[in-house]
C-alpha cells in the first residue's frame, strides 16, 4: 500500500469509497469501487443490502464534510451502477504485506519520504502515485470494502504484526490469512519473509500458538471508529490493533 498524496484524485476517490460504504449497514457484505473519469465518477458496486442509496445526497454530504480536501476536485456528477440484494460470499482468505513501522501498512522509506515532503514516494517496489493527468483513476482495497470482504482479515494481519516481539527482528512480511481450516481443523496461516525471500515458519508457528483467529472482538472495535482517518491521518494507527495479545516470546 502507498500513502496517498492529499488532494490527489486517488486520495479523493478512496475517501469517497469509504464514505459510501459507511452508509451501508456494517453487517452487510459490500464492495464499492469508484472510477474517476475526470468529468464524472463511476460508482460500481454490489451489496447484500436491499436499501437503495441516494448518491446525490451522499455526494453533497461528502463534499460538505471533506471540503478542505476537495479544492477543484468537487464531486458534481456520479453514475450509479450499484447492484443491491446480491448474493455475496465473505472473503475467507487474504494475502497482504506488512512492514515494521509505526503504521505497518507502509514501508519505512515511504513514511520517511512522506514526513519530509508530505507526498507519496515513487520507489519501484511501491504502487506509483497516479498522475493527475490519467484518464481514469480507480479506488483501491481496502477502501470501499466491507469487513467481510477482506477488510477484517487485513486488520487482523496488522494486529498480529504489531504483536511480533522486538527481539525477533523483521522488516517486511507477507501474511496469507484465512478463516478456513485444514483437514485436521487447524487454522490455515502462512508467512513469507520478504527480506529472506523464503517462508518464515518460526513466525507462522508463533502466530498459530498465540492467536485463535477469532475476529469477533476486532469487528466490534473497528465498527466504532471513523475509517476516513486511515487516509486523512495515514501515519496514525488504531490503538486496539496494537493491543498486546499477552506476553509471548519467539524462540
**C-alpha angle with apex 106: 238 to 135, nearest 5 degrees?**
110
Per-residue model confidence as pLDDT tens digits over 134-177:
789 999 999 999 999 999 999 999 999 999 998 998 999 999 99
Residue 249 belongs to a domain: no
Residue 2 belongs to a domain: no
At residue 122, the pLDDT reads 42
Backbone angles phi, psi at 191, to 5 degrees: -130, 130
Of 58, 83, 108, which residue constitutes the final position of a domain?
Answer: 83
Look at residue 2 and tell me whether its pLDDT is greater than 50.
Answer: yes
One domain, residues 77 and 102: no
Per-residue model confidence as pLDDT tens digits over 4-18:
888 888 999 999 999
One domain, residues 97 and 76: no
Look at residue 115 and tell me whether its pLDDT is greater than 90.
Answer: no
Distance (Å, rounded) from C-alpha 79 to C-alpha 75? 11
One domain, residues 76 and 159: no
One domain, residues 71 and 153: no
Q: What is the mean pLDDT of residues 73-81?
A: 85
Decide: 48 and 31 in contact? Cβ < 8 Å: no
Residue 251 belongs to a domain: no
Number of domains in the chain: 2
Look at residue 113 and tell me whether its pLDDT is greater than 50.
Answer: yes
Look at residue 204 and tell me whether its pLDDT is greater than 80.
Answer: yes
One domain, residues 36 and 57: yes
Distance (Å, rounded) from C-alpha 190 to C-alpha 207? 9
One domain, residues 79 and 128: no
Q: Give the model's confidence band at 195: pLDDT under 50 very low, under 70 low, under 90 confident, else very high.
A: confident
One domain, residues 155 and 214: yes
**C-alpha angle with apex 183: 213 to 245, nearest 5 degrees?**
15
Q: What is the mean pLDDT of residues 52-76?
A: 88
Residue 166 belongs to a domain: yes
Look at residue 119 and tell me whether its pLDDT is greater than 70.
Answer: no
One domain, residues 78 and 114: no
Q: Give the model's confidence band at 247: pLDDT under 50 very low, under 70 low, under 90 confident, else very high.
A: low
Look at residue 129 and tell me whether its pLDDT is greater than 70.
Answer: no
Q: Give the model's confidence band at 123: pLDDT under 50 very low, under 70 low, under 90 confident, else very high.
A: very low
Domain that holds residue 99: 93-132+147-242
One domain, residues 18 and 100: no
Pull the grid cell for residue 51. Answer: 436499501
Amino acid at each position: 500500500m502507498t500513502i496517498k498524496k492529499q488532494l490527489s484524485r486517488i486520495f479523493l476517490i478512496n475517501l469517497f469509497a469509504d464514505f459510501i460504504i459507511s452508509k451501508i449497514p456494517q453487517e452487510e457484505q459490500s464492495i464499492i469501487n469508484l472510477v474517476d473519469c475526470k468529468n464524472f465518477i463511476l460508482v460500481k458496486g454490489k451489496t447484500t443490502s436491499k436499501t437503495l442509496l441516494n448518491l446525490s445526497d451522499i455526494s453533497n454530504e461528502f463534499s460538505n464534510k471533506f471540503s478542505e480536501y476537495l479544492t477543484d476536485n468537487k464531486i458534481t456528477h456520479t453514475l450509479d451502477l450499484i447492484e443491491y440484494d446480491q448474493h455475496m460470499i465473505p472473503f475467507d482468505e487474504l494475502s497482504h504485506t506488512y512492514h515494521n513501522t509505526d503504521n505497518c501498512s507502509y514501508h519505512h522509506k515511504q513514511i520517511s519520504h512522506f514526513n519530509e515532503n508530505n507526498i507519496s514516494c515513487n520507489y519501484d517496489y511501491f504502487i506509483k502515485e497516479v498522475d493527475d493527468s490519467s484518464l481514469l483513476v480507480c479506488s483501491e482495497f481496502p477502501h470501499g470494502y466491507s469487513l467481510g470482504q477482506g477488510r477484517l482479515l487485513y486488520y487482523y494481519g496488522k494486529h498480529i504484526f504489531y504483536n511480533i516481539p522486538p527481539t525477533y527482528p523483521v522488516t517486511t512480511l507477507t501474511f496469507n490469512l484465512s478463516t478456513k481450516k485444514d483437514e485436521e481443523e487447524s487454522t490455515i496461516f502462512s508467512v513469507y519473509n520478504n527480506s529472506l525471500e523464503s517462508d518464515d515458519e518460526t513466525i507462522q508457528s508463533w502466530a498459530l500458538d498465540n492467536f485463535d483467529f477469532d475476529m469477533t472482538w476486532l469487528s466490534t472495535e473497528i465498527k466504532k471508529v471513523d475509517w476516513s482517518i486511515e487516509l486523512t491521518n495515514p501515519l496514525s494507527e488504531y490503538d486496539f490493533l496494537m493491543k498486546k495479545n499477552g506476553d509471548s516470546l519467539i524462540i
